[in-house]
Structure 1
């Protein structure tokens, strides 16, 4: 018997408890999409389990929205296929119409009907439902998205965050198999974006609906997602948990998308010891030989300031106050520049020199 606690978990975790296999709600295999002759998505494969929330993260033009449109049925597929609940819905030979896919979509601009009230907007996609059920579903969603009492207002009378919640409620009303959200928070200020990302995660959990959220903000992705898909130049670079993606990025492109940092050179000195322009750092070197030259990615939080036997002097080039932290850009003796996020009690101005040391770094390749 599955406990009530187990029922609240994403399906992928249930399978680990019950021992029963669980098939993905969404499966994409070797997908390619083009605009004319331009390849926008290339060889993308992923699987989303029932109950999971995934975020697609990457810079503008990397293919995030194209991938979302292919899943929704707005973008044709050149090679590969997309399956929903085990059924092929997109391939070079199969294209289930978007309106028959039972996939909800929340657009960047909300796309609310200005002449309809909040209640009418939410109920728009469930007109075939008996009146009593339709009213019950509408009121239930108003409660869920914290808009009870706003049902008779019109979109222009709401804030941006409230409009986004109406759009979400409208997409949830027909009980979709999957929900897609395209940059849903981009029109909001930073603080509201992140609080709403947490709120949307809670709402999707309550409705037990899997979702894919497209974003270019890594903090939103960390907050909202069970899975994180990092795209760069049309390819899915990594599909993993947010924590593992951040801690163990598969390549330099992923590291630069999920964190802030700098690239510096390094040379293996011996067992677990690397020489860098920021001094020597202890790191595993089993895959390398003494003398190998490496490329390191140093996150801003991996650099510390203060007197230390292994510290090197660096000149402040730029300083930006961020409240409890200060963002500095330093020039090293070898001419390389690095960024560091230091405690606000570190006082320095452009032109000053500070002793810096490196606590860790990420190694991605070697240049012999």
Structure 2
């Protein structure tokens, strides 16, 4: 019978053993399998100690890029540098074991025939037995599993197995830690806690960390910078707030937010739409544009004496209770498209109620159509 996650706590914060972080430079990396391009012209840098997420939909090239970083895959062209030293490309290839890189896989890849301590010690085979034992037990202590050293993986819950995999990855004190969707196998109840504790460990050890994820909220939550990939190309590489508030294109905006979208035409520096006019700096007169408004950037107002103050007239079509927020579908005057609003105001608007709406400026994004 599995031991439940709630029966063991994480170790004390600030006790993880530090690594010496390394920087990474990717220069025109490309990779193809059987003639099919997986990555194209990937060029970016990661500073020592940064946590960077590789984000994108399935097939974007995230895991391939991670495997190239680890040395499991060889790029078709381009070069990879670790602390300024080439490790792949230009006729050079440094194998994984010589890169001081830690790996943590989506399925944890624990050895069922080894004890928890044995699993953690597996990456410490170059150390004398006593030193390996000390390092492994220190890593287990940091993730709160020192009491389970003699157990086997099948005796632990999924969350605890994830923690064993983390302990095994950090025990050798890697310069770079690579994680392939490390939280996707956990249920929603555990994911936030395990993720937050894992990031705390990563910050403590100081290693450079690259995390593959398809979850934009997760990437925003854990990253110093995010590399957004689509079809093997870089769409945008930026800090979370920059990527969220200043997406480079419509696709990037939709990847991070549920949007209401309205067509418009630019005249006199403004986009004219059925729901109002919006600033359109940098657009030409007559150009067609797409106004995108995040659902959480729409504010609902009560109607007072059938008048609306600084708000467009609208009507509630339906309300959906989602726990901490309400999701409303509303109809706006002169707009044929349905509008959706995520509201945490605490006021319940009723179906059929006449209301007003306004838009938060930073949640209005405009793109050329």
TM bucket, shorter chain: 0.7 to 0.9
- Measured in 2, the distance between the counterparts of 1:300 and 1:288 equals 24
- Measured in 1, the distance between the counterparts of 2:88 and 2:315 equals 55
- Which secondary structure state, in structure 1, belongs to the residue aligned with residue 217 of structure 2? helix
**CA drift at 1:253:** 1.9
> 8 Å contact 2:314–2:355 — kept in the other structure?
yes
**CA drift at 1:55:** 0.9
Gaps of 5+ in 1: 1-8, 12-22
- Measured in 2, the distance between the counterparts of 1:93 and 1:296 equals 49
Residue by residue over 1:1-29, the C-alpha shift from the partner in whole angstroms, topping out at 9 and shown as x without a partner, is: xxxxxxxx999xxxxxxxxxxx9711101
> 8 Å contact 2:22–2:175 — kept in the other structure?
no
- Measured in 2, the distance between the counterparts of 1:318 and 1:38 equals 47
**CA drift at 1:117:** 1.1
Q: 1:278-297 alignment to 2 at 5 Å? A: 278-281=275-278, 283=279, 285-297=280-292
Match of 1:171 among 169, 177, 184: 169
**CA drift at 1:313:** 4.3
**CA drift at 1:59:** 1.4
Residue 347 (structure 1) aligns with:
349
- Measured in 1, the distance between the counterparts of 2:41 and 2:327 equals 38
- Measured in 2, the distance between the counterparts of 1:155 and 1:346 equals 48
- Which secondary structure state, in structure 2, belongs to the residue aligned with residue 42 of structure 1? strand
Q: 1:1-368 alignment to 2 at 5 Å? A: 25-91=23-89, 93-270=91-268, 273-281=270-278, 283=279, 285-306=280-301, 307=303, 308-314=308-314, 319-332=319-332, 333-343=334-344, 344-349=346-351, 354-360=355-361, 361-367=363-369
TM-score (structure 2 length as normaliser): 0.85
Residue 3 (structure 1) aligns with:
none
**Structure with greater contact order relative to length (CA < 8 Å, sep ≥ 6):** 2
Are residues 212 and 366 of structure 1, via their aligned partners in 2, closer, same or farther at CA, if it must alter by over 3 Å?
same
- Measured in 1, the distance between the counterparts of 2:316 and 2:35 equals 47
> 8 Å contact 2:227–2:234 — kept in the other structure?
yes
TM-score (structure 1 length as normaliser): 0.85
- Measured in 1, the distance between the counterparts of 2:220 and 2:19 equals 17
- Measured in 2, the distance between the counterparts of 1:62 and 1:346 equals 41
Residue by residue over 1:102-155, the C-alpha shift from the partner in whole angstroms, topping out at 9 and shown as x without a partner, is: 211100000001111111100011122122211211121112112121111111
> 8 Å contact 2:79–2:88 — kept in the other structure?
yes
Residue by residue over 1:206-233, the C-alpha shift from the partner in whole angstroms, topping out at 9 and shown as x without a partner, is: 1121110011112221221111111112
- Measured in 2, the distance between the counterparts of 1:10 and 1:131 equals 21
- Deviation larger for 235-244 or 109-118: 235-244
**CA drift at 1:262:** 2.7
> 8 Å contact 1:197–1:223 — kept in the other structure?
no
**CA drift at 1:169:** 1.0
- Deviation larger for 85-94 or 132-141: 85-94
- Measured in 2, the distance between the counterparts of 1:224 and 1:232 equals 20
- Measured in 2, the distance between the counterparts of 1:234 and 1:259 equals 22
**CA drift at 1:52:** 0.8
- Deviation larger for 354-363 or 173-182: 354-363
Gaps of 5+ in 2: 1-17
Are residues 31 and 329 of structure 1, via their aligned partners in 2, closer, same or farther at CA, if it must alter by over 3 Å?
farther
**CA drift at 1:353:** 5.9
- Measured in 2, the distance between the counterparts of 1:209 and 1:10 equals 6
